[in-house]
Amino acid sequence: MAFETTPFGAIAAPGLAFPFVTHSIETGILQEDKDSEGGFALWAKKGVAGEAGKVYVNQPVGSEAVARVLELEPVMTTASTGTVSVKVDGETVATASVTSESTVATLLTALASAWNSESDYTAEASETKLTITAKTAGAEANADVFSAEYSEDCGFGGDVNQVTAGASAESAGVFIGIAQRTMFNDSYKAGMTVNVLKKGRIWVRVLGEVVSGDAAYVNNTNNAFTATSTGGTQIVGGTFKSDAADGGLAELEIA
């Protein structure tokens, strides 16, 4: 992108950092493509395993924790006397007796009634299956190993199968800085290194008119820099240091 002359005579370009100003700049690995030389907002997932050093062009969306869900759908041949047990990591959480009069529905009801209330899971019976749900949502439950054990010749069989994997909650991505313009990149591809200006002064293109002294925000819809707080994420310590019309270049300082 060519340099531009602002209405005030300054030579500028999006992402160009100001000389003779103290800056705090770190590097990150982009997770998305961006057809720009610099001057765009960057985001990160904080406190998430495996995310160190990764930066995003678009703000990552947060998510709620999800409870792990499993199901046991027994298959009956010819019912006979015996027992059926459900185990978690080798520990029995429910045992039910069956007879020649038993059905899938009566077996499931018996297992739900016998379920250990101190288990980390609940169990609910229907006519055809036992639904097992983790009491605490999160990915930790995925490590638990379930099994169903049937006494010989009891006439029932079937495995415990996972329906929904547990997932831990994730906070929405947080603004971490602005991509600095360098001599080496006309655009960026996922996996490339980008300079992240966290503190200092840099040129950015703005959405809407901004006035020197306005607080700076990132628009939540299009990631543009703006002085409009509605629908935006405030840049902590961010202030515009020059006036600019909609679509123009403005000085943005992050203190």
50-85 residue pLDDT tens: 899 999 999 999 899 999 999 999 999 998 999 999
Q: Name residues whose C-beta falls within 8 Å of residue 70's C-beta, 6 or more positions apart in sequence.
A: 131, 132, 133, 146, 160, 161, 162, 163
Tokens of 16: 């160009």
- What gap in Å lies between CA 213 and CA 96, rounded to an integer? 72
- Summary mean pLDDT of the chain: 94
* CA distance linking residue 13 with residue 242, whole number of Å: 14
DSSP 60: P
- The answer to whether 105 and 96 are in contact (CB under 8 A) is no
Predicted model pTM: 0.68
With a cut of 60, say whether residue 1 has pLDDT above it.
no
Phi, psi (rounded to 5 degrees) for 69 = -130, 135
- pLDDT band of residue 2 (cuts 50, 70, 90) is low
Over the stretch 151-191, which tens digit does the pLDDT of each residue have?
A: 999 999 999 999 999 999 888 899 999 999 988 888 999 99
pLDDT at position 46: 84
